[in-house]
Structure formats: structure tokens, C-alpha cells
Amino acid sequence: MFVIAFLLTILLKLLGLPHLISKVDLVMWTKNGAKTLPAVLKRINEVIPSQFVNKRLIVDDQSTDNTREIAVANGWQVIFNRGKGISDGANTALEQVETEYFASFEQDLLLSKDWWPKIASYLEHSEVGAASGMRFADQPRGVRKLQQYVARKYRGEANLASWLRTRQKAAFTLGSTLDNTIYKTSVVRLVGGFPKIRVNAGVDTTLAYRLSQAGYGWIVDYNVQSVHLRAGLKHELSHQYWYGTQVHEIWRRIELETHQSPPISKFGIIYRFIISPFTGLFVAYKMREPTIAIIHPLVRFCYLMGYLEA
């Protein structure tokens, strides 16, 4: 048995696959995801070799379209969310996990083709509790370029702006999302599962803090880039407005979990909107994408309006 395991490890290394010999459970939470789900599930089935998959589980939140039928047709088991929203859906899924490692995805994420061989291998390190890649919007181009700038900025790339290299606190959870992530099951359960939050945002951010406090890292590979399926600029602006309405609850959870102030202050949100016409021009020049000069102030405006409403 030892010889077989050793030879299999060598074969996986030669093929560029992770050394995780044990199987993983794949989980996803859905609600009316019929528009994107066929492509999303097809890609997951293509990217992750079936021999590594124990089961594919979707936790559905009372969808009124044919989300569940699409899931079953693609080989996924469907159960209902025992509560409501992402937090409850994630914990409902966690209860069903049987494997040492499990991976979570969301219904609008088109997985990068190199995700499995690159991301799963990070879990070989004892100090790592979770690992994921980045994801950027598929459209419009200006939104995607803006998101790519933000990712590069918080990595401290000096050619963007030298003063940005010190933003480690704000960059701590960049890329720590639930939509393309693999975890050590025992570690997630050790920290109490997925944080129970009243809104559908901040679960990933709070989990990143919990893992850190327990002594585990969340690795983000910025070079593994999945696609966030969006319906255009209007969709993105609506999402920014919605996220702004969630900020108060996210801040409350960060303070509760860490006894520290959030990385962005209330004044910071207003200040970023005020200077957004200038930063928009700056980013447009750096990324060679003129539309960012308009998109960036619009994004800041919608975020601010959501925040003020909440």
C-alpha cells in the first residue's frame, strides 16, 4: 500500500495535480441561479477530476426557477437550506460534509481551469485552513479592469502607487471569498463553522478573522483568476449599492470577533467618494481603460448611497 501511495503521489506531481489523495466534498448554496448554473456546474465538473470528488451537494434556498432541476441534471444532490441566506446555507452544507477537505462555490462563479491543481495543493501545509483564488467580473471591461487594479494595489505593487504598499490591514481579506475556496473541514468546525450573520455579506470576511485568531491562514493565489458572471454595469452598481447596505452589520461582526476597528472607517467611505473623480482618472490612466474614469465614481456613489440608507 505504501508503494502504491508513493507512486500515486509521484504521478500526481508529474501531472501538476495536488497531492490530496483523499476525496473532497463539493458544496454550493443557490437561490434562483438558473441563468448561470448550467455553465458554472459544467465548469466545476471539468476542472475537478471526478476521482477526487466524494459528493456534490447543493443547498437550495427555496428557488422559484428550475435551479434544482439543473443541479440534479449535472450530478449534484440537492437539499433545502435549514435557515435562510448564505450563512445558514453554508452551515447546512457543512453539516453534510464527510471528507477531510471540502470546497465551496457560488452559483455565478465560472471556475478557473487551473483552480484545482494550484489551489488544493495549499492545504498540504499544516498552518493553512483555507485557500482560494481571485475572481473578476466578466463584464463590462471597465469593471473587470478596476477590480484587477484593486487586487494589484493591495498586493503593494509599487508601479501603481508607492504609498499603497502599507495597506496590509485593508488587504487582509482581499480574495477571501466563499465562491472558489477549499477548506480543512476540521479547522472550519474548530472555529464554530461559518459565522452566523444576519445579512448575506461578510460571512467570508468574518471567517477569515476567525481562522487567523485560531492560528490558521487563508491563502489567496492572485494568479488563479476565475470569472464572476455579471449582467453588465447596472448589475454591478446595484450590487455595490446592496453591499453598502450591509456594511454596518459587517463592521459590527468584525468588532465583535476581533475587538478591533474595521479596516475602513465611516469617514473613509465618504472621503473615497469625494476623491473618486480624481482616483478614477488615475486608475484609468494606470490600467489604460478610459471607462474607469466614469465607472469608479459611480461605484463609490452607489456604495455610499447604500451605506447612508442603512
- Predicted local distance difference test score (pLDDT) of residue 162: 52
Residue 308 has pLDDT above 50, yes or no: yes
To the nearest 10°, report the CA torsion of 299, 301, 307, 310: -110
Angle at 56 between CA 51 and CA 59, to 5 degrees: 170
Average pLDDT over residues 280-309: 96
Q: What is the pTM of this model?
A: 0.86
The per-residue pLDDT for 169 is 52
pLDDT tens digits along 46-105: 999 999 999 999 999 999 999 999 999 999 999 999 999 999 999 999 999 999 999 999
Q: Return the bridge partners of 133, or none.
A: 221
| Residue 284 in grid coordinates | 484609468
pLDDT tier for residue 3 given thresholds of 50, 70 and 90: very low
pLDDT at site 165? 46
Instruction: With beta carbons less than 8 A apart as the criterion, state whether 81 and 91 touch.
Output: no
Calpha distance 51→62 (Å, rounded) = 31
How does pLDDT run across 88-108, given as a tens digit for each residue?
A: 999 999 999 999 999 999 999
36: Cβ–Cβ under 8 A, 6 or more apart, which residues? 107, 108, 229
Q: What band does 161 get if pLDDT is binned at 50, 70 and 90?
A: low
Span of 25-34, 119-128, 140-149, 256-265 with lowest mean pLDDT: 256-265
Question: Mean pLDDT across the stretch 259-276?
Answer: 86
Question: The C-alpha cell of 33 is what?
Answer: 441561479
